[in-house]
Structure 1
Amino acid sequence: MTDAADEPAVGAVSQLVPATLKAMHALEFAGRHISPVTLPQIIEAMAGRDDEVEAALALSRTLDWPERLKPVRACLEPAAEAAARGIAALRSAGEAPQPIVGAYRALRNYAEAAQAIYPMAAFLKPVSQFFLEQSARGDADLAARLAAIDPAREKVGVIHAGGPPGTRGAFSLYVPETYDEGRACPLVVALHGGSGNGGAFLWSWVREARTRGFVVLAPTAIGTTWSLMDPDTDGPSIDAMVEHVAGQWNIDASHQLLTGMSDGGTFSYVLGLRGGCRFTHIAPVAAAFHPMMLTFADEARLRDLPVYIVHGVKDWMFPPQLARQAEQTLSQAGAKVTYREIADLSHTYPRDENAAMLDWFMS
Structure 2
Amino acid sequence: MSSRLLKICLIFIAFLFFSCSSSDDSTPSEPDRSYEDVKTDFQAIDFQTGVNDVSIRDINGVLRFFRVIIPEGDLSSNLRPLVMTLHGASGGNPDAHKNTGCFAEEGFAAINPIIISPNGGNLDWIEFANQVLVLSLFDLAINYLPVDDTKVVVNGYSNGGNGAWFYGETQPTVVTASIPMASSYNTFNTAGEARRIDVPMYVIHGENDELFPLQRTQNWVEATRSAGTEITLEVAPGLTHNEPCNYVDHVKNAAIWLENDVWD
Normalised TM-score (structure 1):
0.51
SS class of match (1:246): helix
- Describe how 1:11-26 pairs up with structure 2 within 5 A: none
Compute the displacement of 1:357 (Å): 0.6
Q: Which residue of 2 aligns with 1:9?
A: none
- The CA deviation string for residues 34-90 of structure 1, in whole angstroms up to 9 with x for no partner, is xxxxxxxxxxxxxxxxxxxxxxxxxxxxxxxxxxxxxxxxxxxxxxxxxxxxxxxxx
Query: Using a 3 Å threshold, how does the CA distance of structure 1 residues 319 and 168 change in structure 2: closer, same or farther?
Result: farther
Number of residue pairs matched by the alignment: 202
Compute the displacement of 1:157 (Å): 0.8
Query: Which of 270, 282, 285 is the equivalent residue of 2:181?
Result: 285
Q: What runs of 5+ residues in structure 2 fail to find an aligned partner? A: 1-45, 57-61
Mapped pair 1:340 → 2:239: no
SS class of match (1:334): coil
Compute the displacement of 1:243 (Å): 1.8
Q: Which residue of 1 aligns with 2:52?
A: 159
Give the root-mean-square deviation of aligned CA atoms.
2.7
Query: Using a 3 Å threshold, how does the CA distance of structure 1 residues 209 and 157 change in structure 2: closer, same or farther?
Result: farther
Compute the displacement of 1:298 (Å): 11
Query: Using a 3 Å threshold, how does the CA distance of structure 1 residues 210 and 339 change in structure 2: closer, same or farther?
Result: closer
Query: Using a 3 Å threshold, how does the CA distance of structure 1 residues 180 and 275 change in structure 2: closer, same or farther?
Result: closer
Normalized per residue, which structure has more strand? 2
Query: Using a 3 Å threshold, how does the CA distance of structure 1 residues 193 and 244 change in structure 2: closer, same or farther?
Result: same
In structure 1, C-alpha distance between the alignment counterparts of 2:158 and 2:239, rounded to whole Å: 13
Mapped pair 1:331 → 2:225: yes
In structure 1, C-alpha distance between the alignment counterparts of 2:72 and 2:103, rounded to whole Å: 17
SS class of match (1:170): strand
Compute the displacement of 1:178 (Å): 1.9
Question: 2:107·2:248 contact (CA, 8 Å) conserved in 1?
Answer: no
Taking CA–CA contacts closer than 8 Å with sequence separation of 6 or more, which of the two structures ends up with the larger relative contact order? Answer: 2
Compute the displacement of 1:204 (Å): 2.5
In structure 2, C-alpha distance between the alignment counterparts of 1:188 and 1:360, rounded to whole Å: 14
Compute the displacement of 1:214 (Å): 1.2
Q: What runs of 5+ residues in structure 1 fail to find an aligned partner? A: 1-152
In structure 2, C-alpha distance between the alignment counterparts of 1:262 and 1:291, rounded to whole Å: 16
SS class of match (1:331): helix
Compute the displacement of 1:208 (Å): 4.6
User: Which is greater in Rg?
Assistant: 1
AA partner of residue 358 (structure 1) = A
Compute the displacement of 1:266 (Å): 0.7
Question: 1:260·1:266 contact (CA, 8 Å) conserved in 2?
Answer: yes
Q: Which residue of 1 aligns with 2:75?
A: 180
In structure 1, C-alpha distance between the alignment counterparts of 2:107 and 2:168, rounded to whole Å: 23
Query: Using a 3 Å threshold, how does the CA distance of structure 1 residues 255 and 298 change in structure 2: closer, same or farther?
Result: farther
Normalised TM-score (structure 2):
0.68
Normalized per residue, which structure has more helix? 1
Query: Using a 3 Å threshold, how does the CA distance of structure 1 residues 212 and 282 change in structure 2: closer, same or farther?
Result: closer
Compute the displacement of 1:351 (Å): 1.1
Task: Tell me the percent identity.
Answer: 19
Query: Which of 216, 225, 228 is the equivalent residue of 2:115?
Result: 216
Mapped pair 1:354 → 2:216: no
Q: Which residue of 1 aligns with 2:36?
A: none
AA partner of residue 228 (structure 2) = G
Compute the displacement of 1:155 (Å): 2.4
